[in-house]
């Protein structure tokens, strides 16, 4: 009224039903606002008090492997560790434990490198991969005051997730599995491992 404009029915008034969000967008400004998921007040206050860690992806990878080596025979926690348990034991705090962004990058990279293995999918639990422990595992610190003393000595082929394909996939040009060939490759890896081991200098002394 007042300007002589004809009354136009709004999308929410059509047939007495509420229109879909797509129809609301197409007809102008949004009538119904999207509500994001809010952090519970108690948890939000707790996170505000918690100090934030600023570990890089490579440092988180080293800490994840250290924690899983500690639990390698299920004698420490008696079960494969969940993602949250690994994050807590790795020392992530604040925003790095509230959001799994940094942990997922590190875990995905280790999964693609066949260093760790996803045991179950719901909930997601982790163990050290059999391929990584084929010729033994690196030593870790037994001191509870400095559990990651030797973590910086762990080296990986890459420190970012693979861009394409499934993280647990192997690309072999479609050749069927051959047990004899697999044993030959294992012996070749073992010979190469022994050859490289002669040039190592013990960093744990």
Task: Report the range out of 44-53, 80-89, 191-200 with the highest average pLDDT.
Answer: 80-89
pLDDT of residue 94: 86
Average pLDDT over residues 26-44: 56
Least confident of 117-126, 130-139, 164-173, 174-183: 164-173
- Other CB atoms within 10 A of residue 156 CB: 14
pLDDT-derived band of residue 50, with 50, 70 and 90 as boundaries? confident
pLDDT of residue 11: 46
Average pLDDT over residues 57-80: 92
- Please give, one letter per residue, the 3-state secondary structure of 93-148: CCHHHHCCHHHHHHHHHHHHCCCEEEEEECCEEEEECCCCCCCCCCCCCCCCCCCC
- Which percentage of the chain shows pLDDT scores above 90? 34
Residue 15 predicted with pLDDT over 60: no
pTM above threshold 0.75: no
Average pLDDT over residues 65-71: 94
- Which percentage of the chain shows pLDDT scores above 70? 71
Average pLDDT over residues 84-96: 92
Q: Is 49 helix (H, G, I), strand (E, B) or coil?
A: helix
Residue 17 predicted with pLDDT over 60: no
């Amino acid at each position: 009224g007042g300007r002589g404009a004809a009354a136009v029915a709004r999308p929410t008034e059509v047939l007495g039903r509420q229109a879909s969000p797509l129809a609301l967008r197409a007809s102008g400004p949004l009538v119904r606002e999207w509500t994001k998921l809010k952090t519970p007040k108690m948890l939000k206050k707790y996170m505000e008090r918690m100090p934030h860690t600023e570990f890089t992806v490579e440092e988180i990878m080293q800490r994840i492997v250290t924690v899983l080596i500690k639990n390698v025979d299920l004698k420490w926690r008696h079960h494969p560790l969940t993602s949250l348990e690994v994050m807590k034991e790795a020392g992530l705090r604040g925003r790095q434990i509230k959001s799994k962004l940094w942990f997922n990058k590190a875990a995905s990279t280790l999964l693609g490198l066949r260093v760790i293995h996803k045991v179950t999918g719901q909930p997601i639990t982790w163990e050290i991969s059999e391929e990584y422990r084929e010729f033994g595992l690196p030593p870790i610190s037994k001191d509870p005051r400095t559990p990651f003393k030797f973590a910086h000595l762990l080296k990986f082929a890459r420190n970012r997730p693979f861009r394409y394909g499934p993280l647990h996939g192997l690309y072999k040009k479609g050749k069927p599995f051959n047990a004899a060939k697999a044993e030959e490759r294992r012996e070749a890896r073992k010979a190469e491992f022994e050859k490289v081991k002669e040039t190592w200098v013990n960093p744990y002394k």
